[in-house]
């Protein structure tokens, strides 16, 4: 895309955003990249280039040996807790609270809490949260003591459930597990009501979450993709803005608020 084509595309994005009243924002790991959190599939720095997802993100691996997985997720929770929301997170929160729209709903694949700490109130987590825990056996919730390792460690014994004695596990959705139905139904509902979908920082590879933009496409509503590079979802996009979340979203808010 030439510079002039990009400028024209951005102008059209701004116009769509000005006209929209009900917005569904769909975010992935790239949303938090400007906060210093690694994405999953970058071929050099992605999370899955450093660990085997089947070894660290599957229920079978957990049942076989939970200690390495618990240690890894507790360290990741600490990294996420120390990260700060970036300008993109704060821009979405501003949009939610503005008089410019009826609603802005966020559906995120991220397991950090940066949307919430950035000020967003209406956030649906499709893949759970690093800060939510429950018993593997009886599903009793466990209150996070926020005692995170400062550095990566190889093994850490999970706490035991006070109700049944089972191991406490991270409240994230692992490979092979079903997405939470309440959250999925809410995402579908918001897409059904939206007159604009904004996709930010997701590769569009992980299913079934990646099918949500296709639902918007099938409805015929405009779709704006904000990403530094083309993704699997670019084919569904009405318009693309080649930039990071922290670059594009504040700029968009400045324009539509002017």
pLDDT in tens, 199-247: 999 999 888 999 999 999 999 999 999 999 999 999 999 999 999 999 9
Q: Which segments in the chain show pLDDT lower than 70?
A: 1-2, 40-54
Same domain, 137 and 119: no
240 annotated to bind ligand: no
CATH number at residue 138: 3.30.1600.10
pLDDT at site 48: 35
The domain total for the chain is: 2
Q: Tell me, yes or no, whether 93 and 72 share the same domain.
A: no
Q: Is 111 annotated as a binding residue?
A: yes
Q: Say what the pLDDT of residue 54 is.
A: 67
Residues belonging to the active site:
127
Boundaries of domain holding 197? 1-37+85-127+179-258
Q: Is 162 annotated as a binding residue?
A: no
How confident is the model at residue 41, as a pLDDT? 45
Is 161 a known ligand-binding residue? yes
pLDDT at 37: 93
The residues, ordered by sequence, that sit 6+ positions from 65 with a Cβ below 8 Å of its Cβ are none
Give me the phi and psi of 219, to 5 degrees please: -75, -20
The model's pTM is: 0.92
pLDDT of residue 2: 62
């Amino acid at each position: 895309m030439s510079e002039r084509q990009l400028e024209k595309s951005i102008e059209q994005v701004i116009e769509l955003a000005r006209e929209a009243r009900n917005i569904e924002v769909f975010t992935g790991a790239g949303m938090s990249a400007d906060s210093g959190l690694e994405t999953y599939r970058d071929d050099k720095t992605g999370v899955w280039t450093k660990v085997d997802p089947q070894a660290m993100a599957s229920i079978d691996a957990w049942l076989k040996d939970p200690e390495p997985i618990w240690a890894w997720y507790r360290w990741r929770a600490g990294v996420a807790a120390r990260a700060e929301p970036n300008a993109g997170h704060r821009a979405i929160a501003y949009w939610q609270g503005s008089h410019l729209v009826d609603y802005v709903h966020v559906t995120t694949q991220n397991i950090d809490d940066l949307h919430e700490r950035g000020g967003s109130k209406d956030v649906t987590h499709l893949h759970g949260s690093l800060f939510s825990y429950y018993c593997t056996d009886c599903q009793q919730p466990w209150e996070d003591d926020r005692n995170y390792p400062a550095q990566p460690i190889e093994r850490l014994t999970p706490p035991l459930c006070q109700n049944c004695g089972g191991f406490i596990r991270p409240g994230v959705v692992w490979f092979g597990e079903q997405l939470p139905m309440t959250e999925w139904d809410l995402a579908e509902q918001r897409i059904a009501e939206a007159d604009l979908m904004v996709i930010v920082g997701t590769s569009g590879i992980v299913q079934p979450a990646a099918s949500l933009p296709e639902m918007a496409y099938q409805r015929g509503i405009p779709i704006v993709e904000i990403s530094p590079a083309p993704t699997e979802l670019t084919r569904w996009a009405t318009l693309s803005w080649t930039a990071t979340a922290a670059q594009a979203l504040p700029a968009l808010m400045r324009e539509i608020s002017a």
